[in-house]
Structure 1
Amino acid sequence: MNRDEVLAATRLWIEKAVIGLELCPFARQVYVRDQVRYVVSEAKHLDAFLEQLDEELELLAETEAEKIDTTLLIHPTLFADFETFNEVVGIAEEAVLEHDLEGVLQVASFHPRFRFEGTEEDDIANYTNRAPFPTLHLLREDSLAKALAAYPGDPDEIYKRNIETLKALGQSGWSALGLHDAAPPPNDDSSGT
């Protein structure tokens, strides 16, 4: 899959799921203002990917929010295994601290096989955090705080509402969205670690 196809699948997911289903009530504004930076990594191994993460953290921290409010660092092939990706998320969170960006930036994560602890893989609730490809979402804390302050409801209820939305939609409804499922088969050992 080439870069343009990865970007198209990611944008479709944002439009139909993240914004379309209102899984993130704050996404529409930065998306329509073209303040989302998309980086499709072609790193061949974990070390190269982490170097790219370092670069993206610094770039986001040094750039005005009006130009880049948030960054999606996507790798279409390196982290097929969700458990391996979860370890990478932990490393990414440590990188925020190493760059002295605690309180400035934070990391959220999405994966085609995302799974909440204690759930079955096919539990529809897991789809709240499923993206076509393993993705690190680098967010500005200030932007998030402003969005939360302007949010009319209880922000702690968003994840519950998302789960209810997906339960009402069901697997068939999710499939009808036509989102690309880029996840390699579960036995694929392309984790790159």
Structure 2
Amino acid sequence: MENQHYISATLQWVDDIVIHHNFCPFARYARYPGGIHCEVTAATADAGSVLATLFDECRRLDNDANIATTLLILTNEDAKDFNRYLDILAIAEKMLSDWGYAGIYQLASFHPDYQFEGEDSASPSHFTNRSPYPLLHLIRESDISKYMQNEEDAEKIYTHNMEKAQTLGCPYFRDKLKALKTN
């Protein structure tokens, strides 16, 4: 039950930010009825433990077609620092390939301090990838391909997200994320 807060806040973020603002057009299809699995790492987990959990989640997706996607919520100290999180992400992406999952699953990354390289640090665009807690989002590539067949232009998703973030502004997102972590 101690992990329930992390899961509740993360799923509320999916509903209130990702789906509500259509940052990921296929998220609403994965969200209901229960197609998103959340797994919380131990607060004491090291990078090796995180990778072991990621491997277990790949296996879970292999064995359960009802789960569309996994959100691995990282509660360990290393992941709280954005640069260390990026190190974990880089190793995780390499390991997906080493485990034979390249082309089967891909990782998307979300972090409370997410910042796109080369963007002004005050840009609202960073909030399209900011979540209440550090996440590794494990996605079935076949689902992405299936959805994208119906999408005329993948670039319009990115453009929409940047425009929407700019319109809503940093204070809106800061308040939303803060509320998720304190509820």
Task: Check whether TM > 0.5.
Answer: yes
**1:30 and 2:30 are equivalent in the alignment:** yes
SS at match of 1:96: helix
Q: Structure 1 residues 178, 94: CA separation in 2 closer, same or farther (over 3 Å shift)?
A: closer
2:45 equivalent in structure 1: 44
| Structure with more helix by fraction | 2
1:160 equivalent in structure 2: 159
**Cα shift readout 1:38-79 (whole Å, capped 9, x = no counterpart):** 001115212111111111112212322xx1111000012431
**Cα shift readout 1:113-138 (whole Å, capped 9, x = no counterpart):** 00000123332110010001110000
2:74 equivalent in structure 1: 75
Instruction: Provide the C-alpha distance between the structure 2 equivalents of 1:8 and 1:63, rounded to a whole number of angstroms.
Output: 22
Q: CA deviation at 1:181?
A: 6.6
Instruction: Provide the C-alpha distance between the structure 2 equivalents of 1:4 and 1:160, rounded to a whole number of angstroms.
Output: 34
Q: Structure 1 residues 167, 96: CA separation in 2 closer, same or farther (over 3 Å shift)?
A: same
Instruction: Provide the C-alpha distance between the structure 1 equivalents of 2:95 and 2:51, rounded to a whole number of angstroms.
Output: 9
**Cα shift readout 1:5-61 (whole Å, capped 9, x = no counterpart):** 111110111011100111001100110121111001115212111111111112212
Q: CA deviation at 1:173?
A: 2.6
Structure 1 gaps of 5+ residues are 183-193
Instruction: Provide the C-alpha distance between the structure 1 equivalents of 2:94 and 2:64, rounded to a whole number of angstroms.
Output: 21
For the Cα contact (< 8 Å) 1:61–1:104, is it kept in 2? no
Instruction: Provide the C-alpha distance between the structure 2 equivalents of 1:179 and 1:12, rounded to a whole number of angstroms.
Output: 12
Instruction: Provide the C-alpha distance between the structure 1 equivalents of 2:68 and 2:177, rounded to a whole number of angstroms.
Output: 28
SS at match of 1:39: strand
Q: CA deviation at 1:141?
A: 0.7
State the superposition RMSD in angstroms: 1.8
Return the TM-score normalized by structure 1.
0.86
Return the TM-score normalized by structure 2.
0.90
SS at match of 1:103: coil
